[in-house]
Structure 1
Amino acid sequence: MTHSPPSPDLKTPPDLETLLDQMTLEEQVSLLAGADFWRTVPIPRLGIPALKVSDGPAGARGGGALVGSTHTAAFPVGIALGSTWNVNLLREVGAALAREAHDKGAGVLLAPTINLFRSTLNGRNFESYAEDPFLTGKLATAYVQGLQAGGVAATVKHFVGNESEYQRNTISSDIPERALRELYLRPFEMVVKDAQPWAIMTSYNKLDGTYASEHPRLLEGILRGEWKFDGLVMSDWGGTHSAGASVRAGLDLEMPGPSRARTTLLEEAEHDPATRAAVRQSARNVLQLIERTGTFADPRDTSDSGEREEEYPDTRALIRRAGAEGMVLLKNDGLLPLPQGVRVAVIGPNAATGQVMGGGSAQMNAHRRVSPLEGLRAALGEENVTYALGCDNDRFLPTLNVPVQLDFFDVQSVSFGTQERTGSEQMLFSLPQGLDASDFRATMTLTLQAPHDGTYDLSLYSAGLSRLRVDGQEVIDNWTHWQPGDTYFNFGSDEVRASHFLKAGPHTAVVEFAPKAVENTVAAFSAMRLGFRPPAPQHQLEEAVSAAAQADVVVLCVGTNGDWETEGVDRWGLDLPGRQNELIGAVLAANPRTVVLLQTGGPISMPWLETAPAVLQAWFPGQEAGFSVADVLLGQADPGGRLPQTFPRSLHDDPVHPLEPGLQYPGEHGHVAYQEGLFIGYRHVDRHGLTPLFPFGHGLSYTTFTVSDAQLSADVLEPGATLRVSVQVRNTGERSGQTVVQLYIREKNTQRERPDKELKGFAKVQLKAGETQEVQLELDMRSLAAFDDTRAAWVADAGEFEVLLGQSSADLPITLPLRLLEQWSEPVSSSSKEAHA
């Protein structure tokens, strides 16, 4: 059957129903899986363009590989943005990311990540916002609003129950209904209702035994039925597991492409009316996303070669400001801010390296990675800043930023050409045309420079088979006995290391590579990473101690990096890796005037806390990291961050008790049971009477604040009423600064199990010295309600409540009584969303 191509007016959005009527069933089906890793399938005869998507939450990477792709702006990671508690700032970040996405030819950004911090050991802890659903929902709503106002679709993820990386592709998150509704679904519900996101991404895991990507109750019942979501639902990459069943369950788009799970979808749709109707609706949702992003009217250049690397001064300024505002001053005995003219020793494994992002799909090729050393030298002058390494914190041997030559061959050794790239880690997404991605050969050739005779450390890991030869001699065999590990999203091997003597001078290194099929892989995934490290100086720690003793002040830069905090594997524990705690102790002994600057993606233990006069949690604050750090340390910016996650004293105080591995964490026999129910984070702390290392909401300023004169618009409420809360905030110090007013609700004499208190309102306030501002917060009935799973309704019982106000979950000096006269309820099945008293 032939079709005469219509001549659509590309500047006028098409009528989607007419367009669907013009499409064959085969064409409708073709829209429901990607064309490749980043693009949907175009249909030129009907004027339907391809739509490009891009990772991710902290920057628009574009269509390239996770390493070595087009340069782009790297924003603070999720937990750093969460620490700002600033909805207006999140809206600004979303708007800036829309421009970045446009530069990459993308109409869809795979962000934000809004899973909660159930455990301190979640590998993607750094990528999300908070342990609290209300804080997460408010921040994500603003981010989505800013992004979509710029014509770029948000893809809110991962829906739902992806709170750890252990066996994430297959594990079933078994979540009690109340916890599911009150915690894990709540931020998604808030974003869907308040920001109307254009896309949702399902999680890899199962929910109560059924894959989230084909869960009818989750996708059709809750998301579309209860919340009235009208956008597109896509799978995570490789997270589609069926053809007709997934479409009928409400999953519109399988990613990436070409299709793996939906190869039989056309045949099923031809023989089953229900599948055929579902295909049409999902195709409509794809077309609607193309329309909403303006791609019908203005088709983008979705090719990777068309990506722009333009850098914007206002974006750099925004990243620098956001990075500083997310930094949390955990402790300060008067050492900070530092005075101008101070002589500083910058010490530690993160001192001379800009740790600006976490690992996995959130990483990108940043325009720059400003280190704390660079930032402080720019601010204080090089003559006032010395440097010492002290120790390393490497999980893997470092890569080399040197030119490499990639040569490609088929299995008969026929050459398919050469590519010149940079860096000793390469992801082989872009292969020469005609080369079979599942069956080829490649070599990576580069030069190793040995500064002196000695024994050097080399390493290799790969998604695929690999071996390393240096000057023709085999040094590492990761081919003959390749074993699966936890690199490259669990598709790669573990790191294989070797020591090899090199004479001073250049040496030729060649990595041979062949792809290897891995069960449940998203596609033909091929990557290799060569690590190289000269022999470590024998007296690193002693040199650091000497530098510390000679300085006025030490800035000790410790923590982790994107190898430790990454997608695909959970965190290692709470102790700082390597000899960092030893380094901290030695430096503090040599110079008590030491600021411990932490860069991690989540909580750590701090055995040195009592002796450290100042501790600043800087997270991974984006490409301007060192400038943001200098701004805060020198008082050019107030440390505006407040913890979005409780810092426990030890793993024993973690709500999922990971010291006793099992069904609750990380899981057993394909299931992880959320046995703690409602009690994560500060809710867990309150329930068990714990004293955390630092509480949820904690953070210090360089000035002081008081909250006082709080008032309620009414202390007795009728069902369905709205409550307004006002409070006076005063800067009682001598300099301007920021604080966060936090409002929690407590139900007294509750008849059902509830947390002691729950965050239901907050406001970021910036005041000059001596300035006072009235803050107003508004509460609705949902702020008082709990989920009644026997009635499938939100219920606020008649009785006594308390409104708690302060500046952290452990600092709530104001308590106001409140009474609800009669019970209020809202059934979740109510299509009108009308409350029922």
Structure 2
Amino acid sequence: MSPVPRQLDIEQLIEDLTIEEKISLLAGKDFWHTMNIDRLNIPSVRVSDGPNGIRGTKFFNSVPSNCFPCGTGLAATFNKDVLLQAGELMGKEAKMKGAHVILGPTCNIVRSPLGGRSFESYSEDPLLSGHAASHIVKGIQNENVVACLKHFVCNDQEHERKAVDNVITERALREIYLKPFQIALRDAYPKALMTAYNKINGVHVSQSKKILQEVLRDEWKYDGTVMSDWHGVYSAKESLDAGLNLEMPGPTRFRQAIPTLHSVQTNEIHRDVIDENARAILRLVNESLKAGIPEDVVESPNPTKEASDLLRKAGDESIVLLKNEGNILPLSKTAIKGQEKIAVIGPNAKAAQDSGGGSASLNASYKITPYEGIESKIIEGGNSISLDYSLGAFLDRSLPDVGNVLFTASGKKGINAKFYKKPPGATDRGPHFEEFVLSTSKIFLSDFKSPELKPGELLFYADFEGIYIPDETGEYEFGASCLGTAQVFVNDQLVVDNKTKQTKGDAFFLGLGTQEERGTIKLTKGVKYNIRVEFGSSPTYTLNKAALEGGGVFFGIRIISTAEEAISRAVEVAKKADKVILVVGISKEWESEGFDRPTMDIPGHTNELVDAITAVNKNVIVVNQSGSPVTLPWINKVQGFVQAWYGGNELGNTIADVLFGDYNPSGKLSMTFPKRIEDNPSFLNFASTNGTVLYGEDVYVGYRYYEKVGVEPLFPFGYGLSYTTFELSNLVVSYDAENVNVKVSVTNTGKVDGAEIVQLYVSQVNPSINRPVKELKDFGKQFLKAGETKVVELNVSVKEATSYWNMYYNKWQSEKGKYKILVGNSSDNITLEDEFEVAKTTYWLGL
């Protein structure tokens, strides 16, 4: 038996701790750790970003991590078991990174396709969001790692996220935005919560007594630890009084020892408030001790087959087949008549769009591109099908990362990085003091440390070098943006100057860096060129002296080509092909924490590319990678359409699994795809206007709105096709005063094994107030062999099935009367219907 982890005696410690020590516990020690009190043997707790993978404690040169499909993709599996297993793998990998707390999952609502972190959340529907979050949380905490559910609550946009006041009715707040958190607390009880940056009805959530005390602590009886988002604290007294236990990161901005102690001594802050907040931190320490992580743990990756298999399974199940005219899919791995040719075209074909941007982004241990996945299937089939490729259109917002195409002087793939105390050209520069081989040219040095640098010493220099061999002869564009200064040299010739010429831009986290400066030079195919970037750290930055620690530099290379030239080359490739796979979408440069998308359109010339390809080849399948909907003006011109999300490490393999039928697609849309952004219910009220955003759609979010007003979407919530067919039959509904039980037979009526998702919706027959047409209340996924029939059983409590928030009584109300049970395989395909009845009206609070 493993030893029982030690536990702190919290009440004894509350007596033993000095008031100064208690105050010190209420803010982080640094970016990733809570404060330790060695005198009383109170250890520090380590946290790590983790919405779709466990980064660990480093941005620069971090230990590689396994990247999971993005949140909206995981929710599209509609598979509670897979979500649980994903959480368990996250928990295992957190311990390998020495992290006691995972900062995730994220279960905000996908209120708009434009939300910068929509990809990181799960769904437009609060029930699906809540079930996805609860199963991820269960899995994480099964490994004795703490899950920190975020962002509590209404962090549904990035525009002015720290300042915006979300004006919202209590009903919408309860029924839509708080509901996922309520479900997760009820079913999985995450041991930590992270507050949102924004205000709700005039008060920042991190200091809202209504949200943190009245709802969370008093009504929901939550006694876990509540921490701020990073730099999401706006006061000392108000946040402590509200029960924001932990300010992150450290060192503190608002809870400094002297002013906080003064506030206690002058009775501005009650001693009981300090004690209660300190208790919550000690409870977090006790929960963290259960993981048994050694204090001297060395961060390590998890390059196991078991991890890759689960990432692939989750990715396979996340992919949604949305169009399959003429059964163009699945593709065959072998030619039926002689030699066949498949053209793989598009900006995402040879790019690995593993995740969206921001805190969800990490150093993935490996990435399979769609082209690589497709190529592997052709090889399996004996190479009787040939592949051709063309880029077709550019997607990059800045010039692309070249870490995977540069190599060092010794022949190793990557970029050689050498760090110096003195700038280039200094007569006494001396030898470098650190050296690394980096896998990326997106180099963020905010947490770069070296024993050769004194504490607080931020001034240093670095040379990043690699050898580049062009695939084509032509004019090439080089670019660099920085938080610091940077110059790019090709064979010692200066090509880009972001040192003497700097313009404010939005590069780097929170947009503190420069615009990308560019320069051009002619390169010859096959010739080796030495690329050197000379970088000076953040103190050399000419635009902002309050930069982030060491700063950083992003640099890239691309052959110069007009959109017309790129499309023309792709058209010639498409003309010669029997079938075309177009891999399009967006990327973490366009969908990221820190900003919202300006439009729902795919940026650049992708739409023109699709139009041009479909004009010369009728057998076109489009694979789209995005975390939320994009505009698809050409959808009627293509025969196949697959929504592949951001797929993590295995994205290329999972796309190929579905395209070639090694996995029969079973995903369903976790959000509605509108025909145009103007159809989205939040269209008139998205983004901050003078510091305010009105949640004017109220409870009519997503399919609730489209159904209520009769607007036909492009693809409805819960929709997804299969390579087989299913029939739902024999609906049996039984109920009592507490619960509704639903049984339905599911038959695979086709010739291929596959999985169907049974979706249970409830509708009130004669509501006394305006309510949605129907609301999702449960779902179940069933795998069936061809011709097989199984019974799916779903259960929901009467109060959850029927209640709405009554703003007069400030309680949930389950109203007497008749309700419809609606069962189908998408929100717009209800095939079975029955009724149940509630005998009397009741009111309730709590979980």
For 1:668, the equivalent position in structure 2 comes to 689
User: How many Å apart are 1:339 and its aligned residue?
Assistant: 1.9
User: How many Å apart are 1:437 and its aligned residue?
Assistant: 5.0
Matched, 1:573 2:585: no
Matched, 1:357 2:355: yes
For 2:7, the equivalent position in structure 1 comes to 13
User: How many Å apart are 1:462 and its aligned residue?
Assistant: 2.9
TM-score by length of 2: 0.90
User: How many Å apart are 1:274 and its aligned residue?
Assistant: 4.4
Counting aligned pairs with the same residue, the percent is: 36
For 2:71, the equivalent position in structure 1 comes to 78
For 1:278, the equivalent position in structure 2 comes to 273
Which AA in structure 2 matches 1:597?
A: V
Matched, 1:397 2:390: no
For 2:409, the equivalent position in structure 1 comes to none
> Are the equivalent residues in 2 in contact too, given 1:328–1:618 (CA < 8 A)?
yes
Question: Relative to 1, partners in 2 of residues 1:197 and 1:68: Cα closer, same or farther, differing over 3 Å?
Answer: same
Across the aligned residues of Structure 1 and Structure 2, the Cα RMSD in angstroms comes to: 2.6
> Are the equivalent residues in 1 in contact too, given 2:144–2:290 (CA < 8 A)?
no
For 1:337, the equivalent position in structure 2 comes to 330
Matched, 1:800 2:793: no
For 2:407, the equivalent position in structure 1 comes to none
For 1:430, the equivalent position in structure 2 comes to 448
Which secondary structure does the structure 2 equivalent of 1:318 belong to? helix
> Are the equivalent residues in 2 in contact too, given 1:256–1:522 (CA < 8 A)?
no
| Match among 798, 809, 822 for residue 840 of structure 2 | 822
User: How many Å apart are 1:671 and its aligned residue?
Assistant: 0.9
> Are the equivalent residues in 2 in contact too, given 1:13–1:296 (CA < 8 A)?
no
Question: Relative to 1, partners in 2 of residues 1:539 and 1:802: Cα closer, same or farther, differing over 3 Å?
Answer: same
> Are the equivalent residues in 2 in contact too, given 1:408–1:440 (CA < 8 A)?
no
* Correspondences of 1:120-135 after superposition (within 5 Å): 120-135=113-128
Which AA in structure 1 matches 2:77?
A: T
- Deviation sequence 1:291-332 (CA, Å, 0-9, x none): 112259654435xxx111231111100100110100000011
User: Which segment is superposed worse, 252-261 or 428-437?
Assistant: 428-437
User: How many Å apart are 1:768 and its aligned residue?
Assistant: 1.1
| Match among 27, 30, 35 for residue 36 of structure 1 | 30
Which AA in structure 1 matches 2:97?
A: K
For 2:313, the equivalent position in structure 1 comes to 321
User: Which segment is superposed worse, 232-241 or 512-521?
Assistant: 512-521
For 1:722, the equivalent position in structure 2 comes to 739
| Match among 201, 204, 222 for residue 215 of structure 2 | 222
Which secondary structure does the structure 2 equivalent of 1:779 belong to? strand
For 2:408, the equivalent position in structure 1 comes to none
For 1:755, the equivalent position in structure 2 comes to 772
- Deviation sequence 1:427-447 (CA, Å, 0-9, x none): 121233554658535344324
| Match among 763, 778, 783 for residue 801 of structure 2 | 783
Which AA in structure 1 matches 2:392?
A: G
Question: Relative to 1, partners in 2 of residues 1:633 and 1:91: Cα closer, same or farther, differing over 3 Å?
Answer: same
For 1:657, the equivalent position in structure 2 comes to 683
* Correspondences of 1:107-126 after superposition (within 5 Å): 107-126=100-119
User: Which segment is superposed worse, 28-37 or 80-89?
Assistant: 28-37
| Match among 56, 69, 81 for residue 88 of structure 1 | 81
Which secondary structure does the structure 1 equivalent of 2:752 belong to? coil
Q: Distance in 1 between matches of 2:592 and 2:574?
A: 32
User: How many Å apart are 1:519 and its aligned residue?
Assistant: 9.8
Question: Relative to 1, partners in 2 of residues 1:261 and 1:414: Cα closer, same or farther, differing over 3 Å?
Answer: farther
Matched, 1:147 2:140: yes
User: How many Å apart are 1:778 and its aligned residue?
Assistant: 1.6
- Deviation sequence 1:722-751 (CA, Å, 0-9, x none): 111221111111111111111111112222
User: How many Å apart are 1:821 and its aligned residue?
Assistant: 2.2
Segments of structure 2 that go 5 or more residues without pairing to the other structure are 404-413
> Are the equivalent residues in 1 in contact too, given 2:212–2:243 (CA < 8 A)?
yes
Which AA in structure 2 matches 1:277?
A: D
| Match among 647, 651, 660 for residue 634 of structure 1 | 660
For 2:262, the equivalent position in structure 1 comes to 267
For 2:168, the equivalent position in structure 1 comes to 175
> Are the equivalent residues in 2 in contact too, given 1:337–1:634 (CA < 8 A)?
yes
User: Which segment is superposed worse, 68-77 or 586-595?
Assistant: 586-595
User: Which segment is superposed worse, 693-702 or 398-407?
Assistant: 398-407
For 1:136, the equivalent position in structure 2 comes to 129
> Are the equivalent residues in 1 in contact too, given 2:502–2:542 (CA < 8 A)?
no
Q: Distance in 2 between matches of 1:124 and 1:244?
A: 30
User: How many Å apart are 1:156 and its aligned residue?
Assistant: 0.3
> Are the equivalent residues in 1 in contact too, given 2:421–2:460 (CA < 8 A)?
yes
User: How many Å apart are 1:400 and its aligned residue?
Assistant: 2.3
User: How many Å apart are 1:409 and its aligned residue?
Assistant: 4.1
User: How many Å apart are 1:138 and its aligned residue?
Assistant: 0.9
| Match among 502, 514, 517 for residue 538 of structure 2 | 514
Matched, 1:733 2:758: no
| Match among 236, 245, 250 for residue 257 of structure 1 | 250
Which AA in structure 2 matches 1:634?
A: F
Which AA in structure 1 matches 2:567?
A: L
* Correspondences of 1:640-651 after superposition (within 5 Å): 640-651=666-677
| Match among 724, 730, 741 for residue 709 of structure 1 | 730
Q: Distance in 1 between matches of 2:531 and 2:545?
A: 38
User: How many Å apart are 1:487 and its aligned residue?
Assistant: 4.3
Q: Distance in 1 between matches of 2:374 and 2:845?
A: 56
User: Which segment is superposed worse, 627-636 or 322-331?
Assistant: 627-636
Q: Distance in 1 between matches of 2:547 and 2:839?
A: 55
Segments of structure 1 that go 5 or more residues without pairing to the other structure are 1-8, 659-663
User: Which segment is superposed worse, 615-624 or 522-531?
Assistant: 522-531
> Are the equivalent residues in 2 in contact too, given 1:410–1:439 (CA < 8 A)?
no
> Are the equivalent residues in 1 in contact too, given 2:143–2:291 (CA < 8 A)?
no
Which secondary structure does the structure 2 equivalent of 1:669 belong to? coil
Q: Distance in 2 between matches of 1:648 and 1:425?
A: 34
| Match among 15, 24, 44 for residue 18 of structure 2 | 24
| Match among 91, 96, 107 for residue 103 of structure 1 | 96
Which AA in structure 2 matches 1:348?
A: G
> Are the equivalent residues in 2 in contact too, given 1:450–1:506 (CA < 8 A)?
no
User: Which segment is superposed worse, 201-210 or 241-250?
Assistant: 241-250
* Correspondences of 1:504-653 after superposition (within 5 Å): 505-515=529-539, 524=549, 526-536=551-561, 539-653=565-679
Matched, 1:46 2:59: no
> Are the equivalent residues in 2 in contact too, given 1:53–1:109 (CA < 8 A)?
yes
Which secondary structure does the structure 2 equivalent of 1:360 belong to? coil
> Are the equivalent residues in 1 in contact too, given 2:109–2:156 (CA < 8 A)?
yes
| Match among 440, 459, 477 for residue 459 of structure 2 | 440
Q: Distance in 2 between matches of 1:522 and 1:640?
A: 46
Question: Relative to 1, partners in 2 of residues 1:347 and 1:523: Cα closer, same or farther, differing over 3 Å?
Answer: closer
Q: Distance in 2 between matches of 1:262 and 1:421?
A: 40
Which AA in structure 1 matches 2:841?
A: Q
Which AA in structure 1 matches 2:397?
A: R
User: How many Å apart are 1:484 and its aligned residue?
Assistant: 4.7
User: How many Å apart are 1:157 and its aligned residue?
Assistant: 0.4
Question: Relative to 1, partners in 2 of residues 1:242 and 1:444: Cα closer, same or farther, differing over 3 Å?
Answer: farther
TM-score by length of 1: 0.91
Which AA in structure 2 matches 1:48?
A: I
Question: Relative to 1, partners in 2 of residues 1:494 and 1:803: Cα closer, same or farther, differing over 3 Å?
Answer: farther
Q: Distance in 2 between matches of 1:285 and 1:474?
A: 55
Q: Distance in 1 between matches of 2:793 and 2:459?
A: 63
For 1:407, the equivalent position in structure 2 comes to 419
User: Which segment is superposed worse, 131-140 or 598-607?
Assistant: 598-607
For 1:661, the equivalent position in structure 2 comes to none
| Match among 283, 289, 307 for residue 299 of structure 2 | 307
User: Which segment is superposed worse, 335-344 or 114-123?
Assistant: 335-344
Give the aligned length: 808
User: How many Å apart are 1:420 and its aligned residue?
Assistant: 2.8
Q: Distance in 2 between matches of 1:827 and 1:99?
A: 36
Which secondary structure does the structure 2 equivalent of 1:40 belong to? coil
User: How many Å apart are 1:449 and its aligned residue?
Assistant: 3.3
> Are the equivalent residues in 2 in contact too, given 1:460–1:478 (CA < 8 A)?
no
User: How many Å apart are 1:499 and its aligned residue?
Assistant: 3.6
